[in-house]
Structure 1
């Protein structure tokens, strides 16, 4: 789909999925929004994502005009990714989707990864989700260690 030129009428839902669809794109956008910018290797160490997928997701976000790649002419080379104005405009919608998702997971009894609360600690999340955070024994400002992803598999 990334080769599409959108020269024919396009469904807006399809377009937004084209831009932010993908397992890691919303997380990457949130990381950039939270920290102002990200660097490839530093972020790769923080997220459980392969280098190939991370590189592809960044490239697609750049092509969609949501982030900008800044390459500094230094030795060693330094590259950062920042949100574009279009990317910044998308953040409130991503926040609403995140809050909706947590509420739906809670209502349906789907276990919520504790990291969901650790990485989203600003008041816009804690005020909206305080009941669910409390029910999951999480208090804002408290950190948890990342669980082994295979810990609960039997």
Structure 2
């Protein structure tokens, strides 16, 4: 929850600013952040262009999320002085510490979706080790 919203009474803002759930959700549970963290964790590093191939995300939203992840100490951005410039994103130790939480969340969601007989994304299943690598269904960056 956004603790800066002006329509919240002060006592609600104070509660939210001190709440560990709210802190964790702001840090790594915003819309695209779990996907970005998981994508980086699958490889040693990831480049900006690969995210746009992996996810249906605009470059503006991607850049904003990566900046937030970097500012929060979850992602390290390395710029190489080359032409054209090469930028790589790696998880920090703190970023890697979130992966078991995201995996548990995925596992819970997967089991609940199976109980409800809902379709589950096959590429996500591969990312999380539930299916073997299958080049015919994998989209970039998997088909290298």
TM band (smaller chain): 0.7 to 0.9
1:142 aligns with 2:134: yes
Q: In the TM superposition, what are the counterparts of 1:27-106 in structure 2 within 5 Å?
A: 27-106=35-114
Q: Which runs of 4+ in 1 moved over 4 A?
A: none
- Consecutive unaligned residues of structure 2, counting only runs of 5 or more, are 5-13, 140-144
Count of matched residue pairs: 130
For residue 120 of structure 1, what is the aligned residue in structure 2?
Answer: 128
Q: Any idea what SS the aligned residue of 1:101 has?
A: helix
User: Contact (CA 8 Å) 1:2, 1:18: kept in 2 or not?
Assistant: no
Choose between structure 1 and 2 for higher RCO, CA contacts under 8 A separated by at least 6 residues: 2
Q: Any idea what SS the aligned residue of 2:79 has?
A: strand
User: Contact (CA 8 Å) 1:36, 1:82: kept in 2 or not?
Assistant: yes
TM-score by length of 2: 0.78
RMSD over aligned Cα atoms: 2.6
TM-score by length of 1: 0.73
Question: Which of 13, 25, 29 does residue 33 from structure 2 map onto?
Answer: 25
For residue 13 of structure 1, what is the aligned residue in structure 2?
Answer: 21
- Consecutive unaligned residues of structure 1, counting only runs of 5 or more, are 127-138, 148-154
